[in-house]
């Protein structure tokens, strides 16, 4: 089973070598690596050209954003499965083998993922263990409810889709967006297909790259990915219990937006978002309503800082 790995690259010369080497080190060797250099101004392309393996392909284009780069890579892919890897992250050595096993075991399914590991730097010892056989795999039948309860089950680096299913959805990633653009595709796939999931963390996600949108961007407006999910759910594209879960997922996202406005001292906007988020009816929503009514901005900031301090430590060294 041939697997295409699509990597968008923009000014990642300091990281791309590790990403490429992680694909070269896979125990499953039937792959192609499609790197789309999205107008880098550093030496990213030169680093890539330093690898001579014929399975590695470099495509260069003017800067158009991560979505356009990924879509270009999807168009160029020829494998049975298409996987994704960010240029500053890497795969553990058994990831592609796990995908091939999952896709073979479930020939009628199209959507596959594993768990991932938060990391700071690459350490070979982190990936020494061989996964158990057979792999612990499940078919997820409550995609949006699962995503709502645990947003850290999968990451772009840990997802793979059968090529015909993915190419039929082109353009897969919304061009012009760079925050939540990956989630948009994962949600739309979740509306069409069941997710085959392995709970083992077989890929890495580097958390502290300078300039990371996840780290630096304050979310004071509901991201388009959630706006579109809400529209599709209300229009009936998602049905039954999954429709309710999707709307609650959107509601939880609105709660996060409301908290940002409350911390900034904009109580009126926070209350407006919470009203629109009333479908969530979760403990997060209830807590945010109490905050909006009772807390001052200073109290909200202190509570937010305390809440962040309670989050689990990253599983890194």
pLDDT for the residue 207: 79
pLDDT over 90 percentage in the chain: 64
pLDDT of residue 126: 76
- Tens-digit pLDDT profile for residues 188-204: 999 999 999 999 999 99
Residue 311 has what pLDDT? Answer: 52
Is pLDDT at 36 greater than 70 in this prediction?
yes
**Could you tell me which residue, 66 or 290, shows the higher pLDDT?**
66
pLDDT category at 315 given cuts 50, 70, 90 is very low
Q: Look at residue 169 in the predicted model and tell me its pLDDT.
A: 96
- Band of pLDDT at residue 219, cut at 50, 70 and 90: low
Structure confidence at residue 209 as a pLDDT band (50, 70, 90): low
3-state secondary structure of 135: coil
Question: Which residues touch 68 (CB under 8 Å, ≥6 apart)?
Answer: 38, 61, 173, 175
Q: What is the mean pLDDT of the chain?
A: 89
Q: How far is CA 234 from CA 53, 174, 188, 273, in A?
A: 48, 21, 14, 18
Alpha helices by DSSP H, the chain: 16-24, 44-49, 66-76, 95-105, 143-149, 163-167, 181-192, 213-216, 224-235, 240-263, 267-276, 283-294, 297-309
The kind and range of the H/E element at 113 are strand 111-119
| Average pLDDT rounded to a whole number, residues 148-175 | 94
Quick check: 203 and 113 in contact, CB under 8 A? no
pLDDT class of 98 with cuts at 50, 70, 90: very high
pLDDT at 214: 45
Asked whether the predicted pLDDT for residue 218 surpasses 70, the reply is no
pLDDT number for residue 270: 85
pTM attached to this predicted model? 0.87
Residue pair 83/92 in contact (Cβ under 8 Å)? The answer is no
CA gap 316, 12 in Å, rounded: 22
pLDDT band for 135, please (50, 70, 90 cuts).
very high
| 285 contacts: CB under 8 Å, gap ≥ 6 | 251, 252, 255, 274, 277, 278
d(CA 260, CA 266): 9
């Amino acid at each position: 089973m041939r697997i295409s790995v699509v990597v968008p690259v923009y000014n990642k010369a300091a990281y791309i070598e590790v990403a490429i080497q992680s694909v070269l080190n896979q125990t499953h060797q039937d792959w192609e690596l499609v790197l789309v250099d999205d107008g880098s101004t550093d030496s990213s392309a030169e680093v890539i050209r330093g690898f001579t393996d014929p399975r590695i392909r470099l495509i260069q284009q003017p800067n158009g954003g991560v979505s356009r780069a990924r879509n270009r890579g999807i168009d160029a892919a020829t494998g049975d499965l298409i996987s994704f890897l960010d240029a500053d992250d890497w795969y553990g050595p058994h990831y592609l083998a796990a995908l091939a096993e999952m896709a073979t075991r479930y020939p009628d399914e199209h959507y596959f993922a594993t768990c991932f590991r938060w990391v700071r730097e690459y350490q070979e010892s982190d990936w020494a263990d061989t996964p158990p056989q057979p792999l612990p795999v499940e078919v997820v039948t409550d995609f949006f409810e699962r995503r709502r309860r645990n947003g850290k089950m999968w990451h772009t680096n840990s997802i793979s889709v059968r090529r015909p299913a993915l190419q039929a959805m082109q353009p897969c990633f919304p061009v012009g967006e760079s925050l939540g653009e990956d989630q948009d595709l994962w949600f739309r796939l979740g509306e069409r297909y069941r997710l085959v999931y392995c709970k083992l963390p077989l890929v890495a996600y580097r958390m502290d790259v300078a300039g990371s949108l996840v780290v630096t961007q304050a979310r004071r407006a509901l991201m388009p990915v959630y706006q579109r999910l809400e529209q599709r759910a209300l229009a009936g594209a998602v049905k039954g219990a999954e429709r309710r879960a999707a709307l609650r997922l959107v509601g939880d996202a609105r709660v996060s937006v409301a908290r940002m406005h409350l911390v900034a001292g904009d109580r009126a906007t926070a209350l407006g978002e919470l009203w629109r988020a009333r479908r969530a009816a979760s403990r997060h929503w209830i807590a945010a309503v109490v905050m909006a009514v009772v807390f001052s901005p200073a109290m909200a900031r202190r509570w937010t800082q305390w809440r962040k301090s309670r989050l689990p430590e990253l599983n890194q060294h």
